Amino acid sequence: MYITNDHRRYYVGSEQHTSRGLFLMLLQEKGKPLTQDNLRAIVRKVALSQVGNFMMGYARIGGRSFVVSGSYGSDGLPMDVDSDTYNRGVPVPPELYTLWARGELDSAGNEATAFRRWAIKNIDVLYNV
């Protein structure tokens, strides 16, 4: 999810949409069940381009590239990542986890504003890990 309104949006041709800016991704450690105690977040500069009906791109975390798609990096769900990448993330506060868990599938729902405010307030730690 882009966290600022100043991210760049443009069209290539008549229908090919592209966006770039600071993007909030949710992280889940691969092989571990998701609970409110182990959801993490990270912010990176991401460019998403239209691929059919989807918006997709790449994010660099710890020298590795990850495919990013839709809201939060995995179409509204946390990205399933290795433990090193997961440990770079910042724990998501329990109240945000609760809002996210009640949200809409495949998109940033009613929790988007709260996540955006939290990410902007904590940008120094979310972006520099």
pTM of the model: 0.87
DSSP annotation of 30: T
pLDDT digit string (tens) for 19-65? 889 999 999 999 999 999 999 999 999 998 888 888 899 999 999 99
Among 3-12, 25-34, 36-45, 80-89, the range scoring the smallest mean pLDDT is: 3-12
The full set of domain ranges for the chain reads 8-127
**pLDDT at residue number 30:** 96
Q: Is 16 left (phi over 0), alpha (psi -120 to 50) or beta?
A: beta
More confident residue, 79 or 11: 79
Angle at alpha carbon of residue 124, lines to 119 and 129, rounded to 5°: 95
Among 14-18, 85-89, 108-112, 125-129, the range scoring the smallest mean pLDDT is: 14-18
